Structure 1
């Protein structure tokens, strides 16, 4: 395995880094202020569309998508350092049209969508004109086991009738969110992993209602947000089915592989920024007669953080390399391992940084508290740690 960055990747790293420094970081507070001062928090801040236009004109757009017909043609290994840089800011990925859940939904449409579905939904998503959500998790069942899902998709003639209550449909609060990729059961009597299907549901379809937006540790994440949505006798054309009936679980597994590693790439960026902020802080604060940077425990925190970040980055690159060379299925253990490791590393580094900042660390004056809240959700999103650990152990037992 050779993880040395190619000239192409180094050029993109430089471009993305400069763009972050010149455009994204200076506008983080502007973005927050525009959200706060808007008549409705669920309004897209003008500065976001301005930044997106600049990124698009700079050619820093859809870098996540391997297919050169639609994206930049980068491998997972090539994309990893770029996602890390974008992930240093909570608004960074969207600026480059590389944010979840749109990235995963676009990959689904590329791989499983018909020409008509791609024309109607993929093209505007690729252009950054609309956004999307992914409606899989349900409040009434343990959704860490996707076969538990009870959402009903029943065919009636040329239509499917959908009934369900979903929640944590991230992005549903955005006024640009026009389409949901919805997972439900088309045949409860089929084999366990062939009962589910995925279908495209426009959010303006009669019977679709956003009941509420769900906060995360008190953050509403406006205008993106996480919606609880009811689907009551929602009718969509048969042509909205993705792939075919009974393929929902297979699509989910294919979608979540890249989605998981993208989260990990961004988590390393979060950890790097937290360490950077901590180092800057402890160099400039004095306690008990000397800079915090000279306190032994602080140096332990810095050393442990650097060690853990490097370990997490190497495992991320290994998983990305395997996805590129042997495929997601063979790389599933490595994907599961990094999905456990990366969010936990980010949380540990963030916790040390918050401690070094003292009371300021839990305030909104610095990004650490919001970064911690986001990172903590990743121990649940796309499968909780415990499910991934069980899968890792199961495969290890089989391998030996």
Structure 2
């Protein structure tokens, strides 16, 4: 069977060039006679891979020496607990902004460690917009402000940041490397790899070095950001193959022209799909236009009874994993960096033909 266009929200599509390179190196990495999956994480060979991944990521995001790049395990959901455990040491509370499902999950875990100051929520309008970032009632004595600038499930995204002296902690799992950001505006960025970076199994953490001092000695050693930094992300065996593939993705991104070039393509892809949806009475997107996600495009059919048929026919047409999240239903097209414009245009062509047949 030939490759399909994979619109899965995660684990998501990887660049075909990356997969082919990994395939070519699978049995013998650079003449070592072993796969990356087989080599010691403390070997010279793997240490060079780790160093390359950190250097490429630093170049792509213009990360300066004030920040530490860590590769953590457990998924971004583990970070929901790990962040307050580390960064709230010596503090009673932290500020959280609620913009959707993943914000809600982060808030739930944080409440196990501290008082959560909910500074804004769009729950009352079913998360179709974002609270005004300029009027959030921030407590400047709190440990940090946590935000999720792109809600993968709801398809809500915002790019601005509140004005605050608090360290801003951002879950960028679904937007990292897809648009320009100023890392210096954040205290910490974390991102599960399985959307825009690589396979599941590793979480990228970019943390300001002064915040590492907040990690208490009472933390489990594998949970301490300070300990993770001191050991170059290798307190125990790291997810070596996931880090290797992340490095290949970083290399591919550099070859494409970096984050600026990817953002330009992502703007074009999202505009094409949203313009088609808005031009149709058969499809609809519920999100306020100013806050529509470039990465995750949810849409509904005017006739809900046609959803199963839509998914069946789209799958047969080589358009995979378009079902919306089970909590919201409908459809969702995740169009991360690895999704080419050709895939988006193929989806639009299918949607147009489906509407003509069933509209």
Give the TM-score normalised by the residue count of structure 1: 0.25
Q: Higher RCO, 1 or 2 (CA under 8 Å, sep at least 6)?
A: 2
